[in-house]
Amino acid sequence: MGDNFSVDDIDLAIVEQLRINGRATNQQIANNLGLTAATVSTRIRRMEDADKLRVVAVSDFSAHGYNVLMELAIEVDGRPASEVAAELAEFPEVFAAHLVTGRYDIDMLVVLRDFSDLPDLLLDKFSKVRGIRSMMPAIAVDVLKYQFDVAPLEARSQQ
């Protein structure tokens, strides 16, 4: 079904309803769109089976007691950046790790409960990872966008 499946306007409307309220029942979505709950259920299942839709739960950092969001650019020397990144990604404080081009080799998003956790993270934990030449932290002072529906259905269907 994957290659022959195409998303139509009804599918897009269902996805939009899920983006608005990820906990909406099939019946609630159906009521909002003038459909039956069975139609909504079938279409959601078809999109999931065709790898066009994945329903996930996302929570806020602060809901888990993390009050500091930090970007950390890392320069690597003497070891493949992919190995260093994989090792750093194992730390629970690391929210995201990316291999990047430019002056630095790795870019990470790190969360901390408090600023007082910063020295321990950088000086005791990360500094023990072999291959790190330098670390450039940048504290997020305000979050302007925190969005996970960054792959629109239209774009994903062309991959």
pLDDT tens by residue, 34-65: 999 999 999 999 988 888 887 776 656 676 77
pLDDT over 70 at 147, yes or no: no
| All residues at 6 or more sequence positions from 124 whose CB lies less than 8 Å from its CB, including other chains | none
CATH architecture of 9-57: Orthogonal Bundle (1.10)
For the residues 119-126, what does the mean pLDDT come to?
Answer: 94
H/E element, 44:
helix 37-49
The residues near 73 (Cβ < 8 Å, ≥ 6 apart) are 103, 104, 106, 107, 135, 136, 138
pLDDT at 68: 87
**Non-local CB neighbours of 70 within 8 Å, separated by 6+ positions:** 109, 110, 111, 112, 118, 137, 138, 139, 140
Q: Is there a shared CATH topology between the 9-57 domain and the 61-139 domain?
A: no
Asked whether residue 151 carries a pLDDT value surpassing 80, the answer given is no
Q: d(Cα 10, Cα 53) in Å, to the nearest integer?
A: 14
CB atoms within 10 A of CB 63: 7
- Domain positions in the chain: 9-57, 61-139
The mean pLDDT of 117-139, rounded to a whole number, is: 94
Q: How many CB atoms lie within 10 A of CB 117?
A: 17
Average the pLDDT over 75-101 and give the result. 95
Measured CA distances, 158 to 49, 51, 151, 153 (Å): 16, 12, 11, 9
Q: Which fold has domain 61-139?
A: Alpha-Beta Plaits (3.30.70)
